[in-house]
Amino acid sequence: MIGMHEAVADATQLGVFFGTWQASGPKRAVASPIDGREIGQLMTASAVDCERVIAAASDAFLAWRTVPAPKRADIVRQIGEALRRDKEELALLVTREMGKHIREALGEVQEMIDICDFATGLGRQIGGLTLPSERAGHRLMEQWHPLGVVGVVTAFNFPVAVWAWNLALALVCGDTVIWKPSSKTPLSAIFCTRLAARVLSENGVPPAVASLLIGPGREIGDRLIEDPRVALVSYTGSVATGRHVGVAVQRRFGRAILELGGNAAVIVSEKGDLQQALEAVYFGVIGTSGQRCTTTRRVIVQESVMPRFLDGLLRLMERTRIGDPREPDVHMGPMVDGAAVETMMAAVAAADKQGGRVLHGGQRLPLPGGCYVTPCVIEAGNDLSIVQQETFAPILYVMPYTDIDQAIALQNGVPQGLSSAIFTKDLMEAERFTGPNGSDCGLANVNAGTVGAEIGGAFGGEKETGGGREAGSDAWKAYMRRQTSVINGSGRIELAQGIRLSV
């Protein structure tokens, strides 16, 4: 039997959907980083397609916004059910298309299911407050209304989950979505869009509620972010592109959720459990081949435990099995493409030149496809320019500290502010780390690593990470229009602030 995964991956696919599938831009091949083999052909979007998609999503919004939120939430529940059914197939496609280990791809699809469950409950909770009015017989209240079209621009590393975080919330909030996935992962996006379209049409909802637009960022993406019909742009990706997106959206006073680069550090205190710290740091480096925005890029180790920590870490690194990410015994699959490998090699060379000392790895492996590397551990000072920037690769910079204040200063001493962690059993240290003068990141964990955030919390970070929040908690508020109303049931006009006007 040919599964949906095969059907997606083997025929020429159309990269544009707004109720119908069509695409009039250039055609291109899609290759797998596992072995370099072609896994599909894709027709990309043209400027004309882009206009059609934005018009259809704007049109669909007019109807969708009037559907009661609990009914919209029920449709999101059904998308979650469909994902449960197709979990293995979608995970395999993600693995084939961008190379993360199948274990992690299954986790990514689970994240999609989780956010659908979360958003289903939100359908009956996205209410506002009723507040005391200063005027007798008046009611002061706020409502949350649907916002409009949401442009969701996602990266290759979480090719499906980040769309789901945005889609699930946007749909419950009454918005429509135009998804521009990474050009590196079009097939996974097509699979997901088909799945959502099936559920939407089964429920008689215009499928343009979940539209798709695959094409180059500088052409198709720019049209999307600059269009005033797109009320909110949710962008996940690099700091450089995020700066471009943020400015373009702000220029037209649109809204943006930016989830940009990270430079996560783990602080390992002598008062922590060393074995647990080792496991968390190890997975934080090699998971998704170092291509998560939460990837552990720095480890700040208390001097007294540095020799033991390094010994344990290098032992784990040496045992890393690198290869086909569909094999259960493999720890780390390929990087996404040859360019990612080049970037990693350039960073290792730069660290070496700037005074870092390579302790392990950082080499290419001669495997088919040319995207395999060994994870790299480098002893380096926090102030090296290469350490200050995010290299999307399995490179860990190791640095020592003496006291907790110094450790926190090092952790915060980078331009990014997404994820951070401390390993300690000392309550004072943990409180210091999570307090107002502690970690300056959006995520600050105690005795848990920097990767693998749960969807129940708000996800995102500060400084160059962009300040946006997605997924859980009250992140839904960014997807809605807040309206404050005064309802006067007093039978006479009374001005606020005690102003009296005799007419």
| CA 109 vs CA 16, 40, 81, 89, 384: distances in Å | 22, 21, 12, 10, 37
Measured from the CB atom, the residue of 293 and 344 that comes closer to ligand UN1 is: 293
Q: Which of 17, 61, 158, 433 binds ligand UN1 (CB under 6 A)?
A: 158
Q: How far is the CB of 305 from ligand UN1 (least distance, A)?
A: 26
Which of these ranges, 177-185, 240-248, 365-373, 445-453, lies near ligand UN1 under the rule CB under 6 A?
A: 445-453
Q: How far is the CB of 292 from ligand UN1 (least distance, A)?
A: 4
Which of these ranges, 167-175, 318-326, 451-459, 461-469, lies near ligand UN1 under the rule CB under 6 A?
A: 451-459
Is 259 in the active site?
A: yes
* Terminal alpha carbon distance of the chain: 81
Q: Which of 104, 259, 429, 470 is catalytic?
A: 259
Which of these ranges, 208-216, 246-254, 331-339, 450-458, lies near ligand UN1 under the rule CB under 6 A?
A: 450-458
Is 192 in the active site?
A: no
Measured from the CB atom, the residue of 223 and 292 that comes closer to ligand UN1 is: 292
Q: Which of 36, 128, 338, 452 binds ligand UN1 (CB under 6 A)?
A: 452
Measured from the CB atom, the residue of 72 and 292 that comes closer to ligand UN1 is: 292
| Residue bearing tokens 């490998």 | 341
Which of these ranges, 128-136, 181-189, 449-457, 472-480, lies near ligand UN1 under the rule CB under 6 A?
A: 449-457
Q: Is 307 exposed, middle or buried (CB count within 10 Å of its CB: 0-12, 13-18, 19+)?
A: exposed
| Residue bearing tokens 């831009």 | 25
Q: Which of 92, 109, 371, 451 binds ligand UN1 (CB under 6 A)?
A: 451
Measured from the CB atom, the residue of 188 and 236 that comes closer to ligand UN1 is: 236
Q: How far is the CB of 155 from ligand UN1 (least distance, A)?
A: 6
Binding mask 230-269 for ligand UN1 (x = CB under 6 A): ------x---------------------------------
Q: Kindly give, in sequence order, each residue whose CB lies less than 8 Å from that of residue 218, ignoring residues fewer than 6 positions away.
A: none
Measured from the CB atom, the residue of 102 and 162 that comes closer to ligand UN1 is: 162
Return the residues of window 275-314 that contact ligand UN1 according to CB under 6 A.
292-294
* CA dist., res. 7 & res. 83, Å (int): 17
Size of the site for ligand UN1 (CB under 6 A): 11
Q: How far is the CB of 455 from ligand UN1 (least distance, A)?
A: 7
Binding mask 100-129 for ligand UN1 (x = CB under 6 A): -----------x------------------
Enumerate the H helices of 392-455 as residue ranges: 404-412, 427-434
Q: How far is the CB of 291 from ligand UN1 (least distance, A)?
A: 8
Q: Which residue is nearest to ligand UN1 (CB)?
A: 453
* CA dist., res. 106 & res. 83, Å (int): 11
Helix 427-434 vs helix 404-412: angle between axes, to the nearest 10 degrees?
30
Query: How many residues are listed for the chain in this entry?
Result: 503
Q: How far is the CB of 452 from ligand UN1 (least distance, A)?
A: 5
Q: How far is the CB of 117 from ligand UN1 (least distance, A)?
A: 15
Q: Kindly give, in sequence order, each residue whose CB lies less than 8 Å from that of residue 435, ignoring residues fewer than 6 positions away.
A: none
SS3 361: coil
Which helix (H) or strand (E) segment is 239 a member of? helix 239-251
Instruction: Tell me which long-range contacts 220-226 makes (C-beta under 8 A, separation of at least 24).
Output: 220/25, 220/44, 220/45, 220/47, 220/50, 220/180, 221/153, 221/180, 222/248, 223/47, 223/50, 223/51, 223/54, 224/50, 224/54, 224/151, 224/153, 224/178, 224/180, 225/151, 225/153, 225/249, 225/254, 226/252
Q: How far is the CB of 37 from ligand UN1 (least distance, A)?
A: 26
Binding mask 161-180 for ligand UN1 (x = CB under 6 A): -x------------------
Q: Which of 50, 116, 293, 376 is catalytic?
A: 293
Q: Kindly give, in sequence order, each residue whose CB lies less than 8 Å from that of residue 239, ignoring residues fewer than 6 positions away.
A: 260, 261, 390, 415, 416, 464, 466
Please report, as ranges, the residues that interact with ligand UN1 according to CB under 6 A: 111, 157-158, 162, 236, 292-294, 451-453
Residues annotated as catalytic are 259, 293
